[in-house]
Structure 1
Amino acid sequence: KTQTIGDIIETVNDISERTHLLALNAAIEAAAAGESGRSFAVMASEMKLLADQAKAATGQVRGILGEIHRGINTSVMLTEEAVKRAAAGKTRSDTTQRTIEEITAKVEEGAQVFQQIVTSTNQQQLGIEQVMQALHGIRQASQQTAAGTRQVETASANITQLAQSLMALAERYRH
C-alpha cells in the first residue's frame, strides 16, 4: 500500500510540475497580452501557487512514507528477534520438560535432584521474561506503525483535497 501511495505521490508531483509549467506559460501569454491580460496574469499566479503547494505536500507525504518504511523495517527486525527468542525459549522449555521428567523418575535421589528442578525452573522463567520483553517491543513497534499509517491517511486526504482543488481550478479555466 505504501508503494501505491508512492505512485500516487509521483502522479500528484507530475501534475504539480505540469501545472507550474502551464502557469509559467500563462504568465508569459498574459504579459504578451498587455493590459487586457492582467486578470489572466492573476490566474496564472494562483495556478503557480497551487502547483507549489502540491509539490510541498508531496514532499511531506514522501517524508512520512519514509518514516513508515523505517518503522516497518524496525518492526520486522523486532519480530525476527522475538521469533528467535521464542524459539530459544521453546528449546529451553523442552529441555526443562525433559529434565523434569527425568527428575520425577529419580525422586529418590533426594536433594541433588531437587536442586536441578530449581535451576531448570529459573531458566524457564528467564526465557519467559525474554519472550514477554520481545512481545512488548513488538507491541510498541505496531503502535508506531499505526500512528504512521494515520499520518499517511491524513496526508493522502490533504493531497486528494489539493488535487480536487487543482482539477476544479483547471476546469474553471478550460471554459
Structure 2
Amino acid sequence: KLLAVNAAIEAAKAGEHGKGFGVVAQEVKSLAEQSRQATNQVRTILGDIQKATATAVMATEQGGKAVEAGTLQTEAAGKSIQALAVSVSEAAQAATQIAASSQQQLVGVDQVAGAMESIRQASTQNVSSAKQLETAARNLNELGQRLKQMVERYKV
C-alpha cells in the first residue's frame, strides 16, 4: 500500500504527464489489497491444515491405542482359548477313562451274573441231591422197619 501511495504522490506531482503513472499506482494498490486478502486466505487455509493435522495426529494416537487394546484383547482371548482347549482335552481324557471303567464294570457284572447262574445250578443240583438222599433215607428206613419186623417174627 505504501508503494501505491508513493506512486500516487509522484503521479500528482508530475501533473498531466503522470496520469499513466497514477493508473499504475491504482493497480499497485488493487494488487496490494488482493495480496492482503490472499494472505488472509492462506492464513485461514494454513490454520485449517494445522487443525486437520492435529485432528489426524489425535486420530492416529487413538487408533494406536485402539490397536494396542485390541492386541491385548486378542492375547487374552488366545489365552482363554488355550485354557479351554486344555479343559476340553482333560474332559475328553476323563470321558475315555469313564468309558473304559464302564466297560470293565460291564465285564464284571457279566462275570457276577455267570457266577450267580453257576450258584443257581449248583443249588438246584444240591436240592436234587438232597431229595435223592431223603428218598434213599426213607427207603432205608422202610427197609430197616421191614427187617426189624422180620427179625421180630423169628425171635424165639
Fold shared by both chains (TM-score > 0.5)? yes
Tell me what 2:29 maps to: 48
**What is the percentage of aligned positions where both structures have the same residue?**
46
> Higher RCO, 1 or 2 (CA under 8 Å, sep at least 6)?
1
- RMSD (Å), alpha carbons: 1.4
Cα distance in 1 for residues equivalent to 2:48 and 2:19: 44
**1:70 corresponds to which letter in structure 2?**
K
Tell me what 2:78 maps to: 97
Q: Give the superposition deviation at 1:63.
A: 0.6
TM-score, length-scaled by structure 1: 0.49
Cα distance in 2 for residues equivalent to 1:109 and 1:22: 93
Tell me what 2:40 maps to: 59
Cα distance in 2 for residues equivalent to 1:36 and 1:93: 84
> Which residues in structure 2 correspond to 1:86-165 (within 5 Å)?
86-107=67-88, 108-109=90-91
Cα distance in 2 for residues equivalent to 1:100 and 1:72: 41
> Which residues in structure 2 correspond to 1:74-89 (within 5 Å)?
74-89=55-70
> C-alpha offsets along residues 93-146 of structure 1, whole Å, 9 cap, x if unaligned?
101101111110110459xxxxxxxxxxxxxxxxxxxxxxxxxxxxxxxxxxxx
1:35 aligns with 2:16: yes
Tell me what 2:51 maps to: 70
State which structure, 1 or 2, has the greater radius of gyration over its C-alpha atoms.
Answer: 2
Q: Give the superposition deviation at 1:73.
A: 0.4
Q: Give the superposition deviation at 1:38.
A: 1.4
**1:29 corresponds to which letter in structure 2?**
E
Unaligned runs of 5+ residues in structure 2 are: 93-156
Greater than 6 Å deviation, 4+ residue runs = none
Tell me what 2:5 maps to: 24
